[in-house]
Amino acid sequence: MDFIAYLISGISLGSVYAIIALGYTMVYGIAKMLNFAHGDVIMIGGYVSFVATANLDLPPAVSIMIAVAVCTTLGIVIEKLAYKPLRAAPSLAVLITAIGVSYFLQNAALLIWSSNPKSYTSLFKFEPLKLLDGELTIASVTIVTVITGVIVMTTLSLIINKTKIGKAMRAVSEDKDAAQLMGIGVNKTITITFAIGSGLAAIAGVLLASAYPILTPTMGAMPGIKAFTAAVFGGIGSIPGAMLGGILLGVIEILGRAYISTQLSDAIVFSVLIIVLLVKPTGLLGKKISEKV
Amino acid sequence: MKKFRFQLIALALVVSIFTLAACGGTATTTTTAAGGETTTAAPDESTDGSTDGGAAIKIGGIGPLTGAAAVYGNAVYNGSKIALEEINALGDLQFELNFQDDEHDGEKAVNAYNTLKDWGMQILNGTVTTTPANSVTPEAFADRIFTLTPSASSPTVVEGKDNVFQLCFSDLNQGIAAAQYIADNKLGEKIAIIYNNADAYSTGIYEKFVSEAEAKGLEIVSTTTFTDETNDFTVQLTEAQNNGADLLFLPIYYQPASLVLSQAQAMSYETKVFGVDGMDGILTLENFDTTLAEGVMLLTPFVADATDERTVSFVEKYKEQFDEVPNQFAADGYDVMYALYEAAKKAGVTADMSAEEINDKLIEVFTSDDFSFDGLTGSGMTWSDTGEVSKEPKGMVIENGAYVGM
């Protein structure tokens, strides 16, 4: 019975990782850059929805919409100001910039909302699901997170594979220069990618804060890194891979903590990542791309 | 293919570096410390004072004003500022405060310390947290600069340094006091502990608690750990529940504690909870559902809704200036300034003395039998030769969203 309970909390944690990882993997897959500031956009999303519900007394649905709108705008602004001027620069420069943006966002949040942590009230207040005479409880936020994860994954796959903008994204991902020659607006496509990724980050922020209700300016950093791990684990660039990687990572973390050691759970998670990468360098669902040099 | 593998390895390296940075609990920018914000003596006020011609004793402060631990540094800084205004208004001795940011990082704390030394610091109010204190206090010891830390509670901070003193309880005393309190008041017999093994504060209390609990015949049925970045406590709580614990001891700060409490409720796990001074602040956590903390017991030296005159006036000023309810750290900062003030007055310290002269005089006063200090965080505080403070912890229980003495 305990095992099932642990499994459920693993899936709960993992589906939060998964939604964050979806944003990571999409931006990496298309713009070929690691947006380390993604975790901090999540934090901003959490704070914005907090302000909307706790300070402005708006209904949950409206607060989520405001958070999505703010984060989408933020994503576009960050892309325009920080990443676009570096389009031709080496990827390492972009990576360092992303880390800089991450710290900038953390400290901006520190200025706006102060260092005092805030307690978030879960937006999903319906009764938890009780199974087997109440021996097994599934929290409402877990159900919402898993469902949201699946919806987001499906929608993203559809956008990328079935729409015109998706086609442009795939083209940019494959070869930026060739795409440009074919008349595809590379900058516009990348901006849209960032907008979608940041909007997703807002949703992830609301879910993360609902599941673990404490807001601090650094709350996005660790989940961001775990989600990045999840994205690599599942095969970076692959949308279903991010979902699978996220959930597996959460389950491994919780089961490792329960049955091996509470102290070593993070070490276990990262060891699994290393083993997977040694056996399957492209991750679980990663595509094998042979690069011609 | 090879190239791709190389890229992934490079990425993995970058991530691990990033993780390490995150573990340091930092949020880095080149913050130009909040220094300079000094309050100097008002020279035009022709009270009796000004024997030193308006010269002020230079007090340096070090603590995290940005980053993950900023809440503690800012509280100490704000509390110190209030005390500073009051002290300077008394017109007796004049103080000047220069507070530097250390981002809860040992190396940056040493840089801050050197900045302060260049500025001419005569006494150190710091550091706020234990990790930087372990880097800074050996320097202060070697330079003979008297140090009174508001809240760095690890015994390693004062160990072997005759001029470093603590205003807060040391972790040792808290662990022992908590075990005694639980045993003497028969609060529970089977105890589960969840502590943060990445944190010197939490681990220090835990270790002492365990040895004292055994001596007192308390049974510890479950011990689990977590680290700074953990936000899921279901495993730890399930283990405590399965082992039939009737009291959960949480020697941790209030942020993770709030998560523990909300997840315990989500699991429908009802247990008594006993915390330490790091738990203080949980009621002022913005938007926190205080019913979750109903019945939580803790040992703390300062309670913001106490009704004595000094606390009331302090809380009022603090709310007015900083728009929030002061926590224990703010009171610690306030008390440090006053303890220094009283000791300096008693020792006859003046602004023109060198740091070393002041150091020797203050050590003598702090360790003398007839010096005791009444502050917001306790009355009749005295200091041992080792630098640890002795004061009575107050047992509190949360009822209807407020602290009530036990």
**How do residues B191-211 score in pLDDT, each as one tens digit?**
999 999 888 788 889 998 999
On the question of pLDDT at B26 being above 60, the answer is no
The count of other CB atoms within 10 Å of the CB of residue A54 is 17
Q: Is B270 on the interface with A (CB under 8 A)?
A: no
pLDDT at residue A289, rounded to an integer: 59
Cross-chain Cβ contact B1/A288 below 8 Å: yes
Distances (CA, A) of B276 to A260, A278, B178, B227: 28, 45, 7, 18
CA angle B271, B273, B275 (to 5 degrees): 170
On the question of pLDDT at B52 being above 50, the answer is no
Q: Is B18 on the interface with A (CB under 8 A)?
A: yes
Cα four-point dihedral sign A140, A120, B231, A103: positive
**How do residues B144-170 score in pLDDT, each as one tens digit?**
999 999 999 888 899 899 999 999 888
A229 min Cα distance to partner chain B (Å): 8
Please state the φ and ψ torsions of residue B116, each to the nearest 5 degrees.
-65, -35
Cross-chain Cβ contact A262/B27 below 8 Å: no
Written as six digits, the tokens of B30 are 């080149």
The full length of chain B comes to: 406
Cross-chain Cβ contact B289/A120 below 8 Å: no
Tell me which residue in A211, A214, A290 faces B1 most closely, judged by beta carbons: A290
Strand arrangement of the beta sheet that strand B389-390 belongs to: B373-375, B378-383, B389-390
Contact B335, B80 (CB under 8 A): no
Cross-chain Cβ contact B22/A221 below 8 Å: yes
Q: Which amino acid is at A133?
A: D
pLDDT at residue B209, rounded to an integer: 92
Find the closest chain B residue to A107 by CA distance.
B27
Q: Looking at beta carbons, which residues of chain A come within 8 Å of B226?
A: 262
pTM of the model: 0.75
Cross-chain Cβ contact A121/B236 below 8 Å: no
pLDDT at residue A290, rounded to an integer: 56
Structural domains in chain A plus CATH codes:
2-279 (1.10.3470)
A53 min Cα distance to partner chain B (Å): 10
Q: Looking at beta carbons, which residues of chain A come within 8 Å of B259?
A: 212-214
Tell me which residue in A257, A266, A293 faces B235 most closely, judged by beta carbons: A257
Q: E strands along B174-286, which residues?
A: 190-196, 219-226, 247-250, 272-275
A191 min Cα distance to partner chain B (Å): 23
CA distance A270 to B288: 33
Residue with tokens 């973390």: A253
On the question of pLDDT at B30 being above 70, the answer is no
Cross-chain Cβ contact B289/A258 below 8 Å: no
Q: Could you tell me the pLDDT band of residue B45, with boundaries at 50, 70 and 90?
A: very low
Of residues B150, B139, B137, B82, the one with CA closest to residue B314: B82
On the question of pLDDT at B48 being above 90, the answer is no
Residue with tokens 């913001």: B304
pLDDT at residue B19, rounded to an integer: 47
Written as six digits, the tokens of B232 are 């899921």
Q: Is B202 on the interface with A (CB under 8 A)?
A: no
Q: Could you tell me the pLDDT band of residue B255, with boundaries at 50, 70 and 90?
A: confident
CA distance A79 to A86: 10
Cross-chain Cβ contact A262/B268 below 8 Å: no
Check residues B31 and B387 and name the one with the higher pLDDT.
B387
Query: What is the rounded average pLDDT for all residues in chain B?
Result: 83
Cross-chain Cβ contact A118/B235 below 8 Å: no
The count of other CB atoms within 10 Å of the CB of residue B36 is 10
**How do residues B374-396 score in pLDDT, each as one tens digit?**
999 888 899 998 898 888 777 78
pLDDT at residue B46, rounded to an integer: 32
Find the closest chain B residue to A258 by CA distance.
B235
CA distance A289 to A165: 23
Cross-chain Cβ contact A54/B71 below 8 Å: no
Distances (CA, A) of A260 to A9, A62, A257: 16, 43, 6
The proportion of chain B whose per-residue pLDDT surpasses 70, expressed as a percent, equals 86
Tell me which residue in B1, B27, B267 faces A103 most closely, judged by beta carbons: B27
pLDDT at residue B49, rounded to an integer: 34
Residue with tokens 């409880």: A137
Find the closest chain A residue to B9 by CA distance.
A277
Q: Which amino acid is at B373?
A: F
Read off the pLDDT of each residue in B229-240 and give the average, rounded to a whole number: 88
A117 min Cα distance to partner chain B (Å): 6
Contact A203, A64 (CB under 8 A): yes
Q: Looking at beta carbons, which residues of chain B come within 8 Å of A115?
A: 66-68, 70-71, 74
Contacts of B68 (CB under 8 A, 6+ apart): A115, A216, A217, A218, B25, B26, B27, B104, B228
CA distance B258 to A117: 11
Query: What secondary structure letter does DSSP report for B131?
Result: H
Q: What is the pLDDT along chain A (293 residues), one digit of tens a residue?
A: 788 888 988 998 899 999 999 988 888 888 888 888 999 999 999 999 999 988 888 898 899 999 999 999 999 999 999 999 988 888 889 999 999 999 999 989 988 987 778 888 887 777 777 776 667 778 888 888 889 989 999 999 999 899 999 999 989 888 888 998 988 889 999 999 999 999 999 999 999 998 888 898 888 988 888 888 899 889 888 889 999 999 999 999 999 888 888 878 888 888 888 888 898 888 888 776 555 55
CA distance A176 to A31: 9
Q: Could you tell me the pLDDT band of residue B10, with boundaries at 50, 70 and 90?
A: low
Distances (CA, A) of B89 to B35, B54, B69, B328: 21, 12, 31, 24
Of residues A179, A160, A162, the one with CA closest to residue A29: A160
Structural domains in chain B plus CATH codes:
15-169+307-392 (3.40.50.2300), 172-300 (3.40.50.2300)
CA distance A46 to A202: 7
Most distant pair of Cα atoms in chain A: their distance: 64
Written as six digits, the tokens of A266 are 């993070």
Read off the pLDDT of each residue in B49-75 and give the average, rounded to a whole number: 78
Mutation site, B287, B319, B324, B327, interface A, largest A CB count within 10 A: B287
Q: Three-class SS string for chain A?
A: CHHHHHHHHHHHHHHHHHHHHHHHHHHHHHHCCCCCCHHHHHHHHHHHHHHHHHHCCCCHHHHHHHHHHHHHHHHHHHHHHHHHHHCCCCHHHHHHHHHHHHHHHHHHHHHHHCCCCEECCCCCCCCCEEECCCCEEECHHHHHHHHHHHHHHHHHHHHHHHCHHHHHHHHHHHCHHHHHHCCCCHHHHHHHHHHHHHHHHHHHHHHHHHHCCEECCCCCHHHHHHHHHHHHHHCCCCHHHHHHHHHHHHHHHHHHHHHCCCCCHHHHHHHHHHHHHHHCCCCCCCCCCCCCC
CA distance B404 to B395: 9
Q: List all residues of chain B from 230 to 269 with a beta carbon under 8 Å from chain A.
A: 231-232, 234-236, 238-239, 242, 255, 258-259, 262, 266-268
Find the closest chain A residue to B68 by CA distance.
A218
pLDDT at residue B83, rounded to an integer: 95
pLDDT at residue B269, rounded to an integer: 86
Task: Choose the weakest-confidence range: A12-16, A263-267, B12-16, B289-293.
Answer: B12-16
Q: Looking at beta carbons, which residues of chain A come within 8 Å of B267?
A: 137
Of residues A38, A32, A95, A113, the one with CA closest to residue A71: A38
A221 min Cα distance to partner chain B (Å): 7
